[in-house]
């Protein structure tokens, strides 16, 4: 998914895009914020733009349309983007809790081993650790070693709604990007496009979701 198709977070997304263009993106990041606001989507969008075969570039001053709000974006159509969207790109790996609800040591070790080599089919290897607060302590200790000396061609994105569940030493190695809640209008737009609700139904559902909080 290109940045331009992500709903919300219009302060964070251009910031990430500019870091990519300027080659100043940190090798490890924490995407922190409430559940369901699109942190994982943004992590995949970042993986796409880092590996897109036909990236779309814009000048920082060109803000005529939403797409032009980003210094760079993925095309969303090339083989690399399509493979990342389908979850089958060799160099984009997602770690997530297993049946036990914990991310164990062995898959972390496998990722660390792969990260020591150059990417196989893309420009950058991107490791997305979903629900990173569920990393076991031994897994966090192992991950810390590569965060301290990150490979040049790898980026680690730790996605979490509970950043305090990460060890202080891990948090200290990863700049944190804070994702806020979506507005009721943004939620309604998602419901219209993704669920086929009428605009009236979507607005009512979005309002009910906010009142339930």
Cα distance between residue 85 and residue 50, in whole Å: 13
Give the phi and the psi of residue 73 in degrees, each rounded to 5.
Answer: -150, 160
| pLDDT score of 74 more than 70 | yes
Q: Are 135 and 126 in contact (CB under 8 A)?
A: no
| pLDDT score of 12 more than 80 | yes
| pLDDT score of 59 more than 90 | no
Cα distance between residue 193 and residue 16, in whole Å: 25
So what's the pLDDT on residue 1?
86
**Measured CA distances, 26 to 16, 134, 155, 190 (Å):** 10, 22, 8, 30
Q: Which residue ranges does the chain devote to CATH 3.40.50.300?
A: 3-181
pTM here is 0.84
Lowest mean pLDDT across 150-154, 175-179, 198-202: 198-202
Q: Give start and end residues of each alpha helix (H) in 31-151.
A: 39-51, 79-86, 105-115, 137-148
* CATH architecture classification, 3-181: 3-Layer(aba) Sandwich (3.40)
Q: Please state whether beta strands 176-178 and 72-73 pair in parallel, antiparallel, or not at all (unpaired).
A: unpaired
User: How many residues are recorded in the chain?
Assistant: 213
- How many Cβ atoms sit within 10 Å of the Cβ of residue 186? 17
**Measured CA distances, 204 to 169, 197, 208 (Å):** 44, 10, 6
Cα distance between residue 8 and residue 73, in whole Å: 16
Structure tokens at 23: 């080659």
Cα distance between residue 181 and residue 1, in whole Å: 20
Cα distance between residue 138 and residue 91, in whole Å: 24
- The rounded mean pLDDT for the chain is 85
Q: Is 165 or 197 the better-scoring residue by pLDDT? A: 165
So what's the pLDDT on residue 65?
47
**Measured CA distances, 90 to 60, 125, 198 (Å):** 32, 8, 39
């Amino acid at each position: 998914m290109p940045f331009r198709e992500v709903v919300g977070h219009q302060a964070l997304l251009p910031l990430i895009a500019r870091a990519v263009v300027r080659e100043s993106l940190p090798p490890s990041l924490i995407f922190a914020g409430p559940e369901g606001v699109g942190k994982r989507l943004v992590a995949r969008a970042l993986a796409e733009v880092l590996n897109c075969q036909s990236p779309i570039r814009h000048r920082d001053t060109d803000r005529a349309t939403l797409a032009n709000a980003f210094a760079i974006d993925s095309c969303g159509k090339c083989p690399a983007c399509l493979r990342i969207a389908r979850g089958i790109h060799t160099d984009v790996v997602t770690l997530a809790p297993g049946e036990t609800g914990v991310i164990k040591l062995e898959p972390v070790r496998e990722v660390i081993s792969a990260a020591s080599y150059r990417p196989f089919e893309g420009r950058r290897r991107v490791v997305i650790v979903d629900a990173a607060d569920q990393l076991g302590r031994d897994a966090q200790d192992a991950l810390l070693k590569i965060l301290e000396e990150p490979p040049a061609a790898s980026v680690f994105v730790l996605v979490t709604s509970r950043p305090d569940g990460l060890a202080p030493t891990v948090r200290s190695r990863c700049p944190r990007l804070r994702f806020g809640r979506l507005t009721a209008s943004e939620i309604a737009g998602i419901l219209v496009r993704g669920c086929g609700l009428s605009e009236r139904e979507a607005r009512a559902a979005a309002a009910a979701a906010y009142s339930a909080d």
